[in-house]
Amino acid sequence: MIKVMGRVENKVALVTGGASGIGRECCKLLAREGARVVVADINEAGGLDTVEAIGGESRFFSLDVRSETRWQEVTSQAIDRFGSLDTLVNCAGIGFAGNFEDTSLENWNAIMDVNLTGVFLGCKHMILAQRQVPANASIINISSIAGLLGGEDIAAYSATKGGVTLLSKSIALSCAGRGLGIRCNSIHPTYVDTEMLDPVAAMFSSRDEMRAGMANEVPLGRLALPIDIAYAVLFLASDESAMVTGSSMVVDGGQTAGLPARHTME
Amino acid sequence: MARVEGKIAIVTGGASGLGLAIAERLLLEGAVVILTDIDALAGQRAASELGCTFFHQDVADENSWHELMADTLELHGRLDILVNNAGIFQGQGGNDPESTLLEDFNRIYSINVAGTFLGCKHAIAAMRKCQSRGSIINLSSIAALVSTPFLTAYGASKAAVRQLTMSIAAHCAESGYGIRCNSVHPGQIRTPMLDNLFQDAATSMDVGVDVVEVEFLKKIPLAEFGEPDDVAYLVLYLASDESKHVTGTQMLVDGGMLAHS
């Protein structure tokens, strides 16, 4: 069998949140395109399932993105194992909805810790790791369209994702300004049909009903699928995007293109 | 399997620079490409070198779009990708707000804005006719998103292209056509257009072109000019089905220039 050269051939990619949803799909697509994948997640069973689905040289590393010690260990172990670390996909995230003033401090801190501090730590230790093995590296942070616009009942989530948007741009400039050879970009999905929506689905009579309601808000008429996001990640992970840094890539079925357009009667 | 295998693509302004690189990249990934340009000689030469069809076109002329779409549907039976790349950036007079001539302003608008509008309009009709879930890609610029007093009309025209893109995307999505529309915003890419800009800046400041180049380079965080292929790869992503949930967006290829705010 002739092996076709993949778009991220031989790159080593670390994906957080690799046990499910968008993260798992990113692991699968990056591996299909030739990368060796470090599947990182707090969920060991799911992470091992991802590794099994990929096969090849992928490895699971248990990672709580809130733990700086674990980031140090995982980045250095990944480099020991694979010889380099070229791509970091910060995908691990949590969400909740509700009235803003009912947000408990505990929940506020919990979402900040995972969605924003976790991304900060990942970027920091990815950059520090490059001092050991300089590479042509790409950091991809999964933000959200809620990182570009406000949301009525997702203030805390939106605040974390807005933080990720600007953190990504500053990291891009910081790395470019010093010639470190590390790019950093953010991706902004609309609703993606993954496990993250399970608690939302529980509030509807069925998942289909939730999907229909959400799809109504998306001009293309459906929720995003994990693979839609994974292809954007693949582009940013590959050298095809060598001149792309500090940018926000939107994958939202047209949701942020503008106001609802129907001003005429049918 | 190539990434745009068998898709039928039109690339305007394909004789040189970004258009040429985009046409070549789409061809390499399996598309059938119709290259158009106002420069018949250069366009024909480029098309024969690439091995694709050439169509002589002034994008500001609506009749040319009627003919191009009719030809394309007759010859290939469908249209899947339109890349509105043709554009100009300078007038005969000055380019700052005080010295820009109205006729230059109008000419830049007729090609960059009306040309893109006409392309979108006729591509939608053609794509609907053959029930293609097509992709329209409009070349805007970072000039659409920041002030460009040294290229007044150009910056305004590219901002119009950005806004037009959003309306086209929303219209097509909400009409259920399955046609997507996105804008691409290059920064400083090594093309004949950029070389002209350097030359003019050098003349007006009475310095060498190399001095101008160094000054331009200082504004790019990644510290190098982009290559046409950097833009072509982004267009390829938007042209392919990999981006099937992406519409109405703006995508940058600018080496980090706009991450400053």
Q: With contact defined as beta carbons under 8 Å apart, do A90 and A118 qualify?
A: yes
pLDDT at residue B90, rounded to an integer: 86
Its ipTM equals 0.87
Place of tokens 């046609």: B179
B222 close contact with A: CB closer than 8 A: yes
**Taking Cα atoms as reference points, which of B159, B178, B184, B157 lies closest to residue B84?**
B184
Structure tokens at A81: 């194992």
pTM score, whole prediction: 0.92
Spell out the SS3 assignment of A202-220. Answer: CCCCCHHHHHHHHHCCCCC
Residue B204's pLDDT band (boundaries 50, 70, 90)? Answer: confident
Which residues of A are less than 8 Å from B255 in CB distance?
A: 176, 243, 245
Instruction: Please report which residue ranges of B56-114 form alpha helices under DSSP H.
Output: 62-76, 102-109
User: What one-character-per-residue DSSP string does B115-179 give?
Assistant: HHHHHHHHHHHHHHHTT---EEEEE--GGGTS--GGGHHHHHHHHHHHHHHHHHHHHHHHTT---
A262 pLDDT more than 70: no
The dihedral of CA A117, A123, A124, A126: what is its sign?
positive
Which residues of B are less than 8 Å from A251 in CB distance?
A: 243, 245-246, 249
Give yes or no: A231 in active site: no
**What integer is the mean pLDDT of B128-139?**
97
pLDDT at residue B81, rounded to an integer: 98
pLDDT at residue A264, rounded to an integer: 57
Bridge partners for A62 per DSSP: A41
The CA distance from A70 to A63, in Å, is 6
User: How confident is the model over B166-190, as pLDDT tens digits?
Assistant: 999 999 999 999 999 999 999 999 9
Minimal-distance CA residue of chain B relative to A259:
B170
Minimal-distance CA residue of chain A relative to B171:
A261
- Locate the domains of chain B by residue range: 8-189+227-260
A259 pLDDT more than 80: no
Residue A261's pLDDT band (boundaries 50, 70, 90)? Answer: low
A32 pLDDT more than 70: yes
Strand stretches in chain B, DSSP E: 8-12, 32-37, 53-56, 81-84, 135-139, 180-186, 250-253
A245 close contact with B: CB closer than 8 A: yes
User: How confident is the model over A137-167, as pLDDT tens digits?
Assistant: 999 999 999 999 998 999 999 999 999 999 9
**What kind of architecture, by CATH, is found in domain B8-189+227-260?**
3-Layer(aba) Sandwich (3.40)
B171 close contact with A: CB closer than 8 A: yes
pLDDT at residue A263, rounded to an integer: 56
Q: What are phi and psi of B102, to 5 degrees?
A: -60, -40
**Taking Cα atoms as reference points, which of B73, B182, B131 lies closest to residue A232?**
B182
The CA distance from B56 to B64, in Å, is 8
Q: pLDDT averaged over chain B?
A: 96
**What integer is the mean pLDDT of A114-125?**
98
User: How confident is the model over A171-227, as pLDDT tens digits?
Assistant: 999 999 999 999 999 999 999 999 989 888 888 999 999 999 999 999 999 999 999
Residue B258's pLDDT band (boundaries 50, 70, 90)? Answer: very high
The CA distance from A65 to A47, in Å, is 14
Residue in A29, A218, A243 to test binding to B, most B beta-carbons within 10 Å = A243
B244 close contact with A: CB closer than 8 A: yes
Place of tokens 């674990």: A70
Distance from CA of B240 to the nearest CA of A (A): 10
Q: pLDDT averaged over chain A?
A: 94
State whether A257 and B255 contact (CB < 8 Å): no
Q: With contact defined as beta carbons under 8 Å apart, do B239 and B22 qualify?
A: no
Task: Please tell me which residue in A157, A186, A189, A194 is annotated as part of the active site.
Answer: A157
Residue B58's pLDDT band (boundaries 50, 70, 90)? Answer: very high
Minimal-distance CA residue of chain A relative to B237:
A235
The CA distance from A32 to A54, in Å, is 8
B21 close contact with A: CB closer than 8 A: no
